[in-house]
């Protein structure tokens, strides 16, 4: 199938899956006991959040199939995934994922802590001048990754995730951003490198497309190069690309784009935001022996082998993928930059 045909079928399957899910939840609701203790808590709401994601899967030899992703350990969703896959026919790529979480957290109660400093392979120390891949965070967040330098107008900013540079709805423009992140010993004012300048807000009950924020830098003297050289251009993911990233936790890793235009990707953000749904996401699996990303790699720029940016890393699962080390989820970079009215620094 070409991309347009695959999109049409994906839309039809999404309607089919929603009908199946509605019937399943109605049956489960009717079976719940009434009375004391029958209230639905956060764990129940998370279990019944949409856990079946549909997208496009690149096929060997060209064209696309349908990507079906479902959460391991939720029997009702597994049943729905099987029926959707059967409806899709032979052009389907079905994968199980673990629970998908944002890859850093606030110092309160967040989704997944970063890997401890001593076990991280990337840049967890104090680095001046700043460069891509180093530990960075809001003063009340543990640690994430500085993904890129961008210009808003003619002013230089650092790009990372909302949950790295802001952390929660309580964050305000002007809050301190430190390098390294607090989990790696960064403190304000000694390690402050800038202030929170803008976010793309995240909110419960609202479908998102990006998890992104920027920090206004105190010192514009930075290093712009990545392991593949300077990255100044962007592209739309087509599927199957060999990609890389440099992050605070796993440093330089390689992967492959295994799905795109994934809708209903549900990501856990902890108590502040709960489980949020994302549409139009990119999926990457590792092509090495270890994971493509781990906790603390949030905010990394994902780029092609030829040095063209494809996306901003923000979430992952601990299981799934060809080597079983998890799947990584990425916002399309053009969507990120447009939402922040920014462009890559040259």
Distances (CA, A) of 277 to 34, 136, 245, 281: 29, 25, 24, 10
Quick one: how far is CA 302 from the chain centroid? 11
Q: Which residue from 304, 292, 303 is spatially nearest to 329, judged by alpha carbons?
A: 292
275-303, pLDDT tens digit by residue?
A: 999 999 999 999 999 999 999 999 999 99
318-337, pLDDT tens digit by residue?
A: 888 888 899 999 999 999 99
The pLDDT value given to residue 51 = 75
Could you tell me the two tokens for 340? 């922040």
Percent of the chain topping pLDDT 70: 89
* 277-311 burial: b if 16+ Cβ within 10 Å, else e: bbebbbbbbbbeeebbbbbbbbbbbbbbeebbbbb
The pLDDT value given to residue 112 = 60
Could you tell me the two tokens for 254? 């390689």
The pLDDT value given to residue 73 = 72
Q: Alpha-carbon distance 163 to 282, whole Å?
A: 18
Q: Alpha-carbon distance 24 to 37, whole Å?
A: 22
Residue 132 has pLDDT above 90, yes or no: yes
Could you tell me if 182 and 143 are in contact, meaning their C-beta atoms sit under 8 angstroms apart? yes
Average pLDDT, rounded, for the chain: 90
Quick one: how far is CA 124 from the chain centroid? 20
* Range name among 69-78, 136-145, 243-252 with the lowest pLDDT average: 69-78
Could you tell me if 288 and 245 are in contact, meaning their C-beta atoms sit under 8 angstroms apart? no
Q: Quick one: average pLDDT of 7-34?
A: 75
266-280, pLDDT tens digit by residue?
A: 999 988 899 999 999
Could you tell me if 134 and 247 are in contact, meaning their C-beta atoms sit under 8 angstroms apart? no
The pLDDT value given to residue 25 = 57
Could you tell me if 101 and 89 are in contact, meaning their C-beta atoms sit under 8 angstroms apart? no
Percent of the chain topping pLDDT 90: 78
Could you tell me the two tokens for 248? 């605070």
The pLDDT value given to residue 30 = 47
Residue 221 has pLDDT above 50, yes or no: yes
Q: Quick one: average pLDDT of 4-24?
A: 91
* Range name among 17-31, 144-158, 193-207 with the lowest pLDDT average: 17-31
């Amino acid at each position: 199938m070409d991309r347009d045909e695959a999109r049409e079928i994906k839309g039809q399957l999404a309607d089919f899956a929603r009908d199946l899910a509605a019937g399943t939840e109605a049956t489960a609701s009717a079976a719940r006991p009434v009375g004391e203790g029958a209230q639905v808590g956060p764990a129940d709401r998370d279990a019944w959040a949409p856990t079946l994601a549909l997208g496009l899967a690149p096929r060997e030899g060209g064209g696309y199939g349908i990507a079906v992703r479902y959460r391991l350990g939720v029997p009702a969703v597994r049943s729905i995934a099987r029926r959707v896959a059967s409806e899709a026919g032979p052009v389907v790529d079905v994968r199980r994922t673990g629970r998908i979480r944002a890859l850093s957290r606030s110092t309160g109660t967040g989704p997944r802590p970063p890997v401890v400093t001593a076990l991280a392979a990337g840049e967890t120390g104090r680095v001046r001048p700043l460069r891509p891949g180093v530990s960075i965070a809001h003063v009340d967040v543990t640690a994430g990754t500085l993904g890129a330098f961008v210009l808003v107008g003619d002013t230089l900013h650092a790009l990372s995730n909302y949950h790295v540079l802001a952390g929660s709805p309580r964050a305000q423009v002007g809050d301190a951003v430190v390098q390294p992140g607090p989990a790696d010993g960064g403190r304000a004012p000694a390690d402050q490198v800038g202030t929170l300048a803008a976010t793309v807000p995240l909110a419960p009950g609202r479908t998102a497309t990006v998890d992104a924020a920027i920090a206004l830098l105190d010192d514009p003297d930075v290093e712009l190069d990545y392991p593949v050289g300077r990255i100044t251009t962007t592209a739309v993911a087509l599927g199957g690309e060999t990609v890389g990233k440099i992050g605070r936790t796993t440093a330089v890793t390689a992967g492959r784009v295994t799905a795109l235009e994934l809708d209903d990707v549900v990501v856990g953000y902890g108590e502040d935001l709960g489980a949020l749904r994302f549409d139009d996401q990119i999926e990457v699996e590792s092509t090495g022996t270890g994971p493509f990303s781990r906790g603390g790699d949030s905010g990394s720029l994902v780029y092609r082998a030829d040095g063209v940016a494809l996306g901003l890393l923000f979430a992952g699962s601990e299981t799934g993928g060809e080597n079983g080390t998890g799947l990584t989820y990425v916002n399309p970079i053009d969507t990120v930059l447009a939402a922040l009215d920014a462009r890559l620094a040259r």
